[in-house]
Structures are given as C-alpha cells and as structure tokens.
Structure 1
Amino acid sequence: MTTRPPITVLLASPRGFCAGVDRAIQIVERAITKYGAPVYVRHEIVHNRHVVERLKALGAVFVEELDECPTDRPVVFSAHGVPKSVPAEAKGRKMLFLDATCPLVSKVHVEAERHHDAGREIVLIGHAGHPEVVGTMGQLPDGAIALIETVADARAYAPRDPGNVAFVTQTTLSVDDTAEIVAALRTRFPEIAAPHKEDICYATTNRQEAVKAIAGRADVLLVLGSANSSNSVRLAEVGLRSGARAHLIDDADSLDFAWLEGARVVGVTAGASAPEILVQDVIDRLAERFEVSVEEVDAARETVTFKLPKVLALAGDR
C-alpha cells in the first residue's frame, strides 16, 4: 500500500464572501423568488463564474447593457455600481430596477460628489475598464474625475489647481499598491483631500492581511477566484510579494499538481466573490494525493452585514 505524503493546508481566515457580495447575491435570489424568472442582471452580479452559473440556473439573465432588457421584467444592477445614466435610463423606460451596489462602493460615490460640489479636482485610484471604476467615474460629468492607475500616473497628473485636489479609490485594490500611489500624490500635493476613512474596503484589507499571515509559511498559495475578480487577483499578488508561489484558480479542476512538487505547506484562500464550497473542493482534491492536515489561521473577525432593499426584505430581516 502506497502511503500518501503529508501536506499541511493553511486556511486563511477571513476568506470568501464579504457582506457586499452576500447582499448582492441575495438580492438576485430574492428578486427571482418574488417576481419569478427571468430577472435580468446588468453585468455579472459579482465576478465569479460559479456564482453567475448558479444564478443563471435559477432564472437570472445576465446582460451588459440596459437596452438588452425588456421593460416588463425586473433588472438588478451589479455590486460594482453603475454610472448615474443607468438608473436614469431605467426610470425613463419605466423599468423596475433593484440596486445591488455594495454600500462601501456607494460611499465612494458620495465622497466623489462631495468633493465635486466643493469645487475640487478629483483623482480616482483604480483600474481602467473595471465596472466599479466605470460606475464611480459615471457619478459626475465627463472629465470631472481623472483616473490614476500607477505611481507614474500620479507623478504625471497635472491638475489646474494643485492646491485644490482630492482622491478616492477603487475598493478592491491592494493596500500596498494604493499606499505607494497615495504617497506619490501627497508628495506632489501636500494639501490633497483624502477620504474620511481609507476607501479600500474592510473585506479587501482583511483578506490581504490573512494572506500575509500564511504566505510566509507556505510553499504554494492557492487563491480561489475568477481572473476578472480584482480582489482575487490582488490576493495572488500579495501572496507572491510575501514569498509564496501563488496561483489564482477558478476551482479544484484548475489545480495543477505539478505546482505542489516538493511542497509541504499549502496556503488556501478565496476572493470576496468566491463561494466557500470551492475551498472545500480544493481541500478534497488535495486529499486524493496527500495526507492533509488543515490549520485555520485567523487574521480578523468579520461581523459586518448590509441591509437588503426594503422591497425584498423578509419579515425576519433587520
């Protein structure tokens, strides 16, 4: 009988669904229950293939633009937020729409508007084309927000009035990357107005800290998440910087055992839009080849919850 080699799995905690993702998925599920199928969803509700496929099976229809939706069916806006033009168009077409924008993204929208109303020039630290960035920039008139993606962008930014600048950030960025860009902006614009609190959300920060807590001990880090999930990609980057051979995988089927050659300790985590079942599937897959012992490493405790829209709330909801 061949004995399986031992391997230790360091399980990062927290990992997986955050409060904003959980709320967004519940909004789609409850909309289908209340209004029947199909319920349309503008853009992927969250960036995870498994979540999207499960909701499709329940009766969700995912589209990229509002003009793909009939006017007699409900439409849900994704957790990433949308430009102001989208709900305006939905109202104009007399559509029933439900906004699943994460409340922490909405907070960034409010801050951007506050700066604009105060006459400041606004910098958004984020990634071009990401739906959250598109949504935030779409809160204000064209040209009101300048996008900065890199330290080089921060050094090249040329506002009309260097003494009257503010910045906001995409919520799912790496804390470390953003710190470098913010430092470059502060060096150039000492008076720059910063958010009341760091805009990078608690869940992104906590998951990155959890990766740092295990990556130094792990030979290999497996991050469950889809390639278009910004926070999942950032987790893999944090793992690499912390010394682990990090791989972003969709699910257990994406696991390449060649990555584990010579490995004795494997770190496992999941992005904020990845279901916990994917983590368990990876552990089960590892157990096919190894004698697995699991150690959960707690970096933070999360107790945050967000209310659902009143129209979908059940009697027992708070």
Structure 2
Amino acid sequence: MLSTETDLARPAVSGGDPPRPAPGAKQRLKVLMAGPRGFCAGVDRAIKIVEEALARRGAPVYVRHEIVHNRFVVERLETLGAVFVEELDEIPDNGQPVVFSAHGVPKSVPAEARAREMFFLDATCPLVSKVHREVERHSATGRHILLIGHAGHPEVIGTMGQLPEGSVTLVEDAAQARTVQPPAGVQLAFTTQTTLSVDDTIEIVSILQDRFPDIASPTKEDICYATTNRQAAVKAIAPRSELMVVVGAPNSSNSVRLREVAERAGCPRAVLVQRGRDFDPALADGVATVGITAGASAPEILVDEVLDRLRTRFELEIEEIVVARENITFKLPAALQD
C-alpha cells in the first residue's frame, strides 16, 4: 500500500562485479546509499526549536534529556548555549526557556514546569504526540492499553506517563505477547512505540490479536513514516551488500533497529557507528559492496565522515537506492512562530 506521507519510488538497480585494481591502486568499492536516511521531520523540528529559542531568548536554553539521541547534535547545541539536564530540578529559576525532547515526556513534567512558572517549549515529535492522544482516547472509553515498546526508552516512559499508573502494560517482544495477562474483564487496546522494527511489531500484533480478538487497534499505524521508510531502504540494499554501516547512536532505537533489519534482510555483517572516526575502513577489505544508512537522528555530515574514511582506503563507486521521497515538515510551537 502506498504511504500517504511519501511518494514511493522503485529502487534503482545496477549489477556487475567491481574491476580488479591495478597494482598499487586502491581497491574499487561499490557503495550503496540507502534513501531515505538520516534526519526525519520530527528530529529536524526538535533541533530547530532549540536553535530558535537560543536565537530569541539567548543562552542558556535548558533541554530536558537529549533533544534527540545523537551526541554530535547534542554537543553542537551545547556550543551554541544549550544546557542538557535529566530533570527539571536541575534548572534554576532564572526565567530561561526549557525544551522537552523529541521523545515526549510524562504529563507530570509539564505540570511541574507550570507549577514553577517556567517558560517551556515542547519538542515532542507530533507523531509521538499522536500516540499520546490515542492512549488517552482509549483510556477514556475504559480500555486497558497494551503498549508495544522497549522498557526504559524515553518515548515509552512518556507514553505510559500520559495515564495513571496501572493503565498501561508494556509488551516488549513476541514472548511477552504470548504470556501477558492484562486485567480481567476489561476491554483492551494496543499502541506502539514509533521507532520499532516493522517486522517484529507485525508479529507481536498478530499474537495479541489472536489472543484478544476484540483488542482495539490504532486508527493509523503508530510506527512512524520515517522508521518505516528507513527500514524499507535497508531491506532494498542489504541483500546486495556484504557489509552494512549504520550511522547512529547506540541509544537510538531506530538506528539499532536498522542494524538488525540489515542482518535479517541478508547482509552478512552490519555495524553501528556514531561517526566516521569510530569506523575502521579495514572492515571493508575484501568486500565488493558496502551499504550505508543513517538513523533518523543522525545528520548527513556524519554519513559524509564515513565516506571520507572509506576513501582513505578505497576508490568508491557510489549508487543511491531510493525507495521513498519524503517531503514532510512540522510547524514550530506557536511561541516560536512570528
């Protein structure tokens, strides 16, 4: 089915083995670039919120939790005057803005900010906010929520924190889906974290629907378009690649999922690197084709770093494999709009 948010395109295909290098010349290496990759609309919006707050209010601008899961992005914003904290009690009452991260926060966080009369800006991705409204809607009709996601992830903490304790049961994998025991005699609904493996989630949902035939589903799939598209792009190049390089942070759920998807889709080896300096180009020795992608919170400059590292050892032949074209943007909060 075609996505309503993206224009899908058939992957480009080219074949043939790379020629043998002349004596003393660099080995030729085919590089398949997954498209789309890197920043999504929600990440782009979150970063712009911090930048615009700094431009309008000056430093410091406080940010609760990493604005997105990428150290390069965080460190760059720190150089501009952003101060990252884990909790609001670390922020002085000096009237400076505080930004909530793209992953979303429990309701208790903005409540505390209001109680302290803080000027706060919510950078929660609108697609995560959609999930928040969804669990509220189901809870208002008396349904218990089964949330498919990873324990401890900020997005999961934020989603569970939209409702009173005990209103949501977390289901992390297929094994838990087979054994979870929700409250007896209560109608059910399920929702998901937005950055999960599409294939894993399909399996988990199928198990839950088999066990609980009347369980209510989201009005629209909760895994976001960016996660879906980036996984589809990896699936398009993984069977042709002997090594997949995923640029992203180890605490980035969507980046970790891309590495897993690559291996499941037929790539013999997939590695996750935060940036070029973390990548050993010798990993591609003896390899004819390398695939490269980036998680939704990784900027393209970090992909360029990986390519530069490969160029120190290989002569690159680069091919872009595009499975979807994204043209989505999200508005900034009203307080930052002229």
TM-score category (smaller protein) = over 0.9
The DSSP-based 3-state class of the residue aligned with 1:37 is coil
Give CA-to-partner distance per residue, 1:163-200, whole Å, 9 cap, x none. Answer: 71100000000001111110110110111100011100
Residue 246 of structure 2 is matched in structure 1 by 223
In the alignment, structure 1 residue 261 sits paired with structure 2 residue 305? no
Residue 58 of structure 1 is matched in structure 2 by 80
Q: Contact between 2:36 and 2:325, CA under 8 Å: does it hold in 1? A: yes
Residue 12 of structure 2 is matched in structure 1 by none
Residue 312 of structure 1 is matched in structure 2 by 336
Give CA-to-partner distance per residue, 1:239-285, whole Å, 9 cap, x none. Answer: 01112110000011111234213111000000000000011111111
Greater displacement, 257-266 / 231-240: 257-266
Residue 74 of structure 1 is matched in structure 2 by 97
Q: 1:131 aligns with which of 137, 145, 154?
A: 154
Q: 1:299 aligns with which of 293, 304, 323?
A: 323
Give CA-to-partner distance per residue, 1:185-239, whole Å, 9 cap, x none. Answer: 0110111100011100000000000000110100100000000000000000000
Residue 43 of structure 2 is matched in structure 1 by 21
In the alignment, the residues of structure 1 paired with residue 183 and residue 97 of structure 2 have an alpha-carbon distance, to the nearest angstrom, of 43
Residue 97 of structure 1 is matched in structure 2 by 120
Q: 2:163 aligns with which of 137, 140, 151?
A: 140
In the alignment, the residues of structure 1 paired with residue 177 and residue 262 of structure 2 have an alpha-carbon distance, to the nearest angstrom, of 25
The DSSP-based 3-state class of the residue aligned with 2:29 is strand
Give TM-score, length-normalised by structure 2: 0.91
Q: 1:38 aligns with which of 56, 60, 80?
A: 60
In the alignment, the residues of structure 2 paired with residue 229 and residue 163 of structure 1 have an alpha-carbon distance, to the nearest angstrom, of 34
The DSSP-based 3-state class of the residue aligned with 1:177 is helix
Amino acid paired to 2:65 = H
Residue 110 of structure 1 is matched in structure 2 by 133
Q: Taking every aligned residue pair, what percent have the same amino acid on both sides? A: 65
Q: Note the C-alpha offset of 1:156.
A: 1.2
In the alignment, structure 1 residue 181 sits paired with structure 2 residue 189? no
In the alignment, structure 1 residue 285 sits paired with structure 2 residue 309? yes
Q: Which consecutive aligned stretches of 4+ in structure 1 deviate over 3 angstroms post-superposition?
A: none
In the alignment, the residues of structure 2 paired with residue 313 and residue 279 of structure 1 have an alpha-carbon distance, to the nearest angstrom, of 31
Residue 176 of structure 2 is matched in structure 1 by 153
Structure 1: state its 5+ residue gaps.
none
Q: Note the C-alpha offset of 1:8.
A: 0.7
Greater displacement, 80-89 / 259-268: 259-268
Residue 188 of structure 2 is matched in structure 1 by 165
In the alignment, the residues of structure 2 paired with residue 199 and residue 259 of structure 1 have an alpha-carbon distance, to the nearest angstrom, of 36
In the alignment, the residues of structure 1 paired with residue 183 and residue 98 of structure 2 have an alpha-carbon distance, to the nearest angstrom, of 40
In the alignment, structure 1 residue 196 sits paired with structure 2 residue 219? yes
Give CA-to-partner distance per residue, 1:266-314, whole Å, 9 cap, x none. Answer: 0000000000001111111111110101100001010111000121124
Q: Contact between 1:163 and 1:192, CA under 8 Å: does it hold in 2? A: no
In the alignment, the residues of structure 1 paired with residue 72 and residue 191 of structure 2 have an alpha-carbon distance, to the nearest angstrom, of 31
In the alignment, the residues of structure 1 paired with residue 87 and residue 285 of structure 2 have an alpha-carbon distance, to the nearest angstrom, of 45
Q: Note the C-alpha offset of 1:2.
A: 1.7
Q: Note the C-alpha offset of 1:70.
A: 1.4
Q: Note the C-alpha offset of 1:161.
A: 3.9
Q: Contact between 1:218 and 1:265, CA under 8 Å: does it hold in 2? A: yes
In the alignment, the residues of structure 2 paired with residue 257 and residue 288 of structure 1 have an alpha-carbon distance, to the nearest angstrom, of 8
How many residues are paired up? 314
Q: Contact between 1:162 and 1:189, CA under 8 Å: does it hold in 2? A: no
In the alignment, the residues of structure 2 paired with residue 160 and residue 110 of structure 1 have an alpha-carbon distance, to the nearest angstrom, of 22
Give TM-score, length-normalised by structure 1: 0.97
Relative to structure 1, is the Cα distance of residues 162 and 276 closer, same or farther in structure 2, using a 3 angstrom cutoff?
A: farther
Q: CA RMSD in A?
A: 1.0
Q: Note the C-alpha offset of 1:151.
A: 1.0
Amino acid paired to 1:42 = R
Amino acid paired to 2:148 = I
The DSSP-based 3-state class of the residue aligned with 1:216 is helix
Amino acid paired to 1:90 = A
In the alignment, the residues of structure 1 paired with residue 103 and residue 85 of structure 2 have an alpha-carbon distance, to the nearest angstrom, of 14
Give CA-to-partner distance per residue, 1:64-86, whole Å, 9 cap, x none. Answer: 00111112211000000000000
Amino acid paired to 1:269 = T
The DSSP-based 3-state class of the residue aligned with 1:106 is helix
In the alignment, structure 1 residue 208 sits paired with structure 2 residue 231? yes
